[in-house]
Amino acid sequence: MNTKIAVIILVVAAALMGLYVYAFGFPEDRPREETACTLEAKLCPDSSAVGRTGPNCEFAPCPGESGGGDGNIFRYQSGIRGVVFLGPTCPVVMDPPDPECADRKYETTLALTTPDGARVVQEFNSDAQGRFSIGAAPGEYAIRSAVAANVLPYCSTNETVRVFSGTYTETTVYCDTGIR
């Protein structure tokens, strides 16, 4: 009698299991539930924006935020290189120009900003030969003095600097001494 009960229980369990598989399928055969993320965006340091992604709708990383282990999130394969000049260096401009009064290469602290200059993306320095190189995501930027605008010498680019993916844009920054 105990064997009959055990067999009946096994048959009923197998039937219920078969019915479950027939109705719902195996777990890997079931369609996965999709998550719809909101259309919110996160503003990145380079003025670009990223949306939400992944199963938990977290924000995608900003360009260069994959992390290199050194804490530097500004790692790009693109950016801006150039040289900084300081001038005029003499109070009177002569014709022909005096070589002693030529603009000089200048070591200073600069700011990479949004094109309108309203937000600083990153500060950086030129070296003693006036050279600089800064990584930046593709986009449009301006370069200006890192100090207040009313302090001389005041440095800036004459035009918006455009950075393209995978390359460094060359530019020249001029610093006005205020000598007239």
**Do 19 and 36 fall within a single domain?**
no
Q: Which domain, by its residues, includes 171?
A: 79-176
Lowest mean pLDDT among 27-36, 47-56, 93-102, 137-146: 27-36
Percentage of the residues of the chain whose pLDDT score is greater than 70: 77
Last residue of some domain: 46, 75, 104? Answer: 75
Predicted local confidence at residue 105, as pLDDT: 96
pTM greater than the 0.85 cutoff:
no
Predicted local confidence at residue 5, as pLDDT: 84
pLDDT per residue over 52-93, tens digit each? 766 667 777 776 665 333 333 445 688 999 999 999 888 887
Beta bridge partners of 139: 163
Winning range, highest mean pLDDT, from 53-62, 88-97, 146-155, 165-174: 165-174
Q: Examine the pLDDT at 30 and tell me if it is beyond 90.
A: no
**Do 135 and 172 fall within a single domain?**
yes
**Do 130 and 85 fall within a single domain?**
yes
**Do 45 and 112 fall within a single domain?**
no
